[in-house]
Amino acid sequence: MIPVGKIPRHIGIIMDGNGRWAQSRGLSRIEGHRQGARRTKDIIKAAINAGVKVLTLYAFSIENWNRPILEVNTLMGLFTHYLQVEIGELVRDHSIVFRVIGDRERLPGKIRDLISGIEVSTAGNEGMTLVPAVSYGGRDEILRAVKKIVKDGVSADNIDEKLFEGLLDTAGLPPVDLVIRTSGEERLSNFLLWQSAYAEFYFADTLWPDFTNDEFLSAIGDFQKRDRRFGEIERGGKI
C-alpha cells in the first residue's frame, strides 16, 4: 500500500549487496547481479506506481571498472539486455523518460549507441524519468563540470549554483529528496554528492536482491515523517 502523504519527487538508490547475497548462498557474484537486476525491475515499477517523478539508480560506479574483467563484462551484458529488452516494456506500459548519467566515454560503443537512441526516443514521454548512473562517480561528475567551465572560459564572477548545476549530468532534474541504501552500509560511496546536499537518507540492512516493494514503500513512509527545514528553523520555533 502506497503511504499517504507527500511522495519524494526524486529518489536515488544505492543498490548494494548483490555479491554478499550470492556468497551467503554459495553462488557466484555473477548470479547475485542477475538476481539484483530482477529486483531492480520490480522496484522501478513500485516507484512508478507510487508517483515518484525521478528515480536514479546507482548501477555501476566509476570505481567498479577496477573489478575482475569477468564481473565487469557480466554487468555490461546485463545492462545491454536491460537496454534492448526491459526498457521497451517500461516505455510501452509507463511512458518513461530514460536518461543515463556518468562518463559514457568509458562504455562500449554498442551501449553508448543504445543509450543515445533510447534517450532521444523517450525525451517527449510524460512518465517517470528513470536515470541509471553508469560509469558514474560524484567527484568525477563535479570535475567534468569544472573542466567545462575552464574550457568555456567562464569568468569567476559569472559562476553560481545555477550555472554549475546546468553543467552536471543531472542538469534539469530536481534535487534528490531521498537516498536509499541497502545492505547495511551507511555511506554515499560517491553517489550524487552535489544533488544530495539536503536529501533524507534511509539505510536498510536488507541485501539488494531481497529488498522488497514493501520495504521501498516503507522508506517513502519514513521520509514522510521527516521535518525537512533546509537550514531554516522549525516553523513557530524561537531564536
- 16 is a catalytic site residue: yes
N- to C-terminal Cα distance for the chain?
40
For the question of residue 158 being annotated catalytic, the response is no
Catalytic residue among 18, 42, 64, 214: 64
Measuring CA to CA, which residue among 141, 121, 41 is closest to residue 85? 41
Active site residues: 16, 64
